[in-house]
């Protein structure tokens, strides 16, 4: 496989796929509830956004320590690029321009746009190595991954960092033979680091591929350097490395005002937070995992059960093709960059990081979502291979690859759009859908996102000024729903651990939190919800209502309180036995 530079037509197709992605995400955003993290980022986003807007206000000393701590002190364990964009988007698109009615959607727009751009780049990655047909199938396969689509809505970092990862790889691919792109790749890395920590791993991965490229060049030409005035891989690799080190670091520090003061101490805090991250419990194949070592097969099994079957089948075929092409390139000493190795490594590394036994496994597929664009490219390649096989070895035309690929991805599209609001609960038919996954004790909930589906029932049934226990969802999400008119204003939030002090309970079904559902049963005197959110019959949210007001217990005297059990001979003596004294 050779690397073909994208044409204007490629960018046009990529842009159309990007618009399609954005359109679908915007359309379905109202179905997607607010998980815990997102509610924190709404708050942090407004603060960061206000800081940026304050720069344009002469009265605000924006660059003072106090202003910077006001803007970035909250949630300072993550870089601020995305939070700033969330806040600016909210302040500008909603508050100032009024272009977006929903507060929630306004916060989410930067993530949604980046998801669109990720589809665009996924298309380019496919098109650059195997033509527009493969690119289109890759873009569609990426777009129609139910869990990826679901996570792409959130004003969180997982969708954006997926885009950033692909962006870094794309710029690096272009930089393999271009100094201009080498500079861009350094900026891309910096922006990636400013998005989420995951991108820290990309330069090491690319270094490995670069070394492979250099080795291939040496093997092919007998020299490390190109002849004469020509520039060889060493030159470009050095440019890229220098750019990534200098510009990557500079952009990272420049973007994050929090690091401008007490730099070393705060940087240490940042690293420490992530290197000692708490392990949130995860139910997986019958075990509740709290402590490492975690099962190595977790990311593989979860991907096999949560990606559409068509995508799995096509990508496995494509992966085989990618592997064979890479092998052939090495054996035949072909003169072209090792794109196969680059794609395979980028697909494998996010999986391998999570598969390491000491890496926390909470959060599921979102933590290795950065591999999915490369998996999607493999699906595109797989489609091309299948079609070529069906045609008896004749190379299929672009329209044929894209049409057949699109047809084979129709079930994936259906699954994605049908489950837009509950993508985290989606399981494919290999495990019998959500009911089968529940029987296998696989996780289906994620930090209180599913509340939204219970809001209509709560609004319709709750008495005035009802006291609602919100369980795993946050006060921030409660307020966000009210702000968007999704939750009645008079309904009150009771706080954490308040089942006994509420009339309504919104329980988010997670196995590690089952005992908290039972707290509700104890408090309300009933084991059964009045409503809820059920996905293929499986509970995501149980909506509970206290059947009646508490009653003072009637006085009750102990019956037969006089001693009735004289200590028998031979009984093991227990001090105090032989008579209860009222």
Going by C-alpha positions, the residue among 451, 566, 434 that lies closest to residue 505 is: 451
- Residue 460 contacts another protein per CB under 8 A: no
Q: How far is the CB of 133 from another protein (least distance, A)?
A: 16
Candidate residues 159, 281, 300, 322; the one interacting with another protein per rule CB under 8 A: 281
Q: What is the crossing angle of helices 103-130 and 372-390, to 10°?
A: 40
- Residue 228 contacts another protein per CB under 8 A: no
Are 137 and 317 in contact, with CB atoms under 8 Å apart? no
Query: In terms of CB distance, is 7 or 414 closer to another protein?
Result: 414
- Residue 575 contacts another protein per CB under 8 A: yes
- Residue 395 contacts another protein per CB under 8 A: no
- Residue 295 contacts another protein per CB under 8 A: no
DSSP symbol at 308: -
Tokens linked to 349: 């590394």
Candidate residues 237, 342, 404, 425; the one interacting with another protein per rule CB under 8 A: 404
Bridge partner list, 200: none
Stretch touching another protein by CB under 8 A, among 118-126, 212-220, 347-355, 520-528? 520-528
Q: How far apart are the first and last CA of the chain?
A: 89
Query: In terms of CB distance, is 140 or 314 closer to another protein?
Result: 314
- Residue 401 contacts another protein per CB under 8 A: no
Query: In terms of CB distance, is 92 or 316 closer to another protein?
Result: 316
Query: In terms of CB distance, is 111 or 311 closer to another protein?
Result: 311
Q: Count the Cβ atoms, other than its own, within 10 Å of residue 476.
A: 17
Tokens linked to 514: 């089952």
- Residue 557 contacts another protein per CB under 8 A: yes
Candidate residues 439, 461, 475, 496; the one interacting with another protein per rule CB under 8 A: 439
- Residue 381 contacts another protein per CB under 8 A: no
Burial of 229 by CB count in 10 Å (0-12 exposed, 13-18 middle, 19+ buried)?
exposed
Are 111 and 160 in contact, with CB atoms under 8 Å apart? yes
- Residue 432 contacts another protein per CB under 8 A: yes
Query: In terms of CB distance, is 63 or 290 closer to another protein?
Result: 290
Say how far apart CA 488 and CA 481 lie, in whole Å.
Answer: 9
Query: In terms of CB distance, is 34 or 386 closer to another protein?
Result: 386
Radius of gyration of the chain (CA): 28
Residues 306-335 interacting with another protein (rule: CB under 8 A): 309-310, 313-314, 317
Residues 493-512 interacting with another protein (rule: CB under 8 A): 494, 498, 500-503, 509, 512
Burial of 83 by CB count in 10 Å (0-12 exposed, 13-18 middle, 19+ buried)?
buried
Are 141 and 379 in contact, with CB atoms under 8 Å apart? yes
- Residue 376 contacts another protein per CB under 8 A: no
| Phi, psi for 505 (deg, rounded to 5) | -125, 130
Query: In terms of CB distance, is 29 or 311 closer to another protein?
Result: 311
- Residue 216 contacts another protein per CB under 8 A: no
Whose structure tokens read 């750019």? 243
Stretch touching another protein by CB under 8 A, among 148-156, 189-197, 288-296, 369-377? 288-296
Q: How far is the CB of 117 from another protein (least distance, A)?
A: 29
Q: What is the crossing angle of helices 179-193 and 202-221, to 10°?
A: 160
């Amino acid at each position: 496989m050779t690397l073909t530079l994208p044409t204007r037509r490629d960018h046009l197709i990529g842009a159309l796929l990007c618009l399609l992605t954005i359109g679908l995400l915007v359309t379905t955003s109202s179905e997607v509830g607010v998980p815990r993290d997102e509610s924190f980022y709404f708050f942090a986003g407004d603060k960061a956004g206000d800081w940026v807007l304050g720069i344009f206000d002469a009265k605000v000393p924006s660059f003072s320590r106090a202003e910077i701590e006001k803007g970035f002190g909250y949630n300072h364990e993550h870089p601020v690029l995305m939070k700033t964009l969330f806040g600016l988007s909210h302040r500008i698109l909603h508050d100032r321009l009024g272009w977006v009615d929903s507060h929630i959607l306004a916060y989410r727009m930067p993530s949604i746009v980046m998801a669109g751009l990720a589809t665009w780049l996924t298309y380019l990655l496919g098109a650059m190595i195997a033509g527009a047909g493969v690119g289109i199938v890759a873009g569609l396969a990426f777009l129609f991954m139910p869990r990826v689509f679901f996570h792409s809505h959130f004003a969180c970092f997982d969708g954006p960092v997926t885009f950033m990862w692909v962006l870094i790889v794309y710029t690096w691919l272009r930089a393999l033979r271009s100094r201009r792109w080498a500079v861009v790749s350094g900026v891309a890395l910096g922006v990636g680091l400013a998005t989420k920590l995951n991108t820290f791993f990309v330069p090491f991965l690319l270094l490995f591929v670069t070394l492979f490229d250099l080795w291939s060049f040496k093997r092919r030409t007998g020299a490390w350097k190109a002849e004469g005035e020509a520039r060889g891989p060493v030159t470009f690799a050095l440019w890229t490395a220098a750019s990534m080190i200098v510009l990557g670091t500079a952009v990272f520090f420049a973007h994050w005002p929090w690091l401008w003061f007490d730099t070393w101490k705060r940087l240490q805090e940042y690293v420490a937070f992530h290197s000692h991250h708490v392990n949130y419990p995860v139910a997986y194949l019958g075990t509740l995992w709290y402590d490492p070592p975690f099962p190595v097969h977790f990311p593989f099994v979860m991907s096999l059960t949560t990606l559409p079957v068509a995508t799995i089948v096509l990508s496995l075929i494509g992966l085989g093709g990618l592997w064979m092409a890479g092998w052939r390139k090495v054996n035949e000493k072909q003169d072209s960059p090792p794109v196969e190795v680059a794609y395979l490594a980028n697909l494998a590394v996010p999986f391998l990081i999570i598969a390491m036994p000491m890496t926390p496994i909470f959060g599921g597929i979102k933590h290795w979502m950065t591999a999915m664009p490369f998996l999607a490219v493999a699906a595109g390649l797989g489609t091309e291979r299948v079609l070529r096989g069906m045609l008896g070895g004749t190379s299929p035309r672009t329209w044929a690859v894209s049409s057949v690929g699109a047809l084979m991805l129709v079930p994936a599209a259906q699954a994605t759009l049908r489950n837009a609001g509950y993508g985290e609960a989606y399981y494919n038919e290999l495990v019998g859908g959500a009911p089968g996954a529940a029987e296998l004790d696989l996780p289906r909930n994620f930090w209180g996102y599913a509340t939204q589906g219970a809001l209509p029932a709560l609004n319709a049934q709750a008495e005035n000024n009802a006291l609602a226990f919100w369980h795993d969802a946050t006060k921030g999400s409660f307020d966000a729903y009210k702000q968007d008119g999704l939750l009645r204003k008079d309904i009150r939030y009771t706080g954490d651990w308040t089942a006994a002090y509420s009339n309504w309970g919104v329980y988010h079904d997670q196995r590690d939190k089952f005992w908290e559902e039972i707290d509700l049963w104890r408090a309300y005197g009933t084991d059964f919800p009045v409503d809820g959110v059920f996905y293929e019959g499986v509970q995501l949210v149980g909506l509970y209502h206290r059947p009646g007001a508490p009653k003072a217990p009637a006085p009750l005297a102990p019956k037969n309180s006089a001693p009735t059990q004289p200590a028998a001979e031979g009984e093991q003596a227990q001090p105090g036995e032989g008579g209860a004294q009222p």
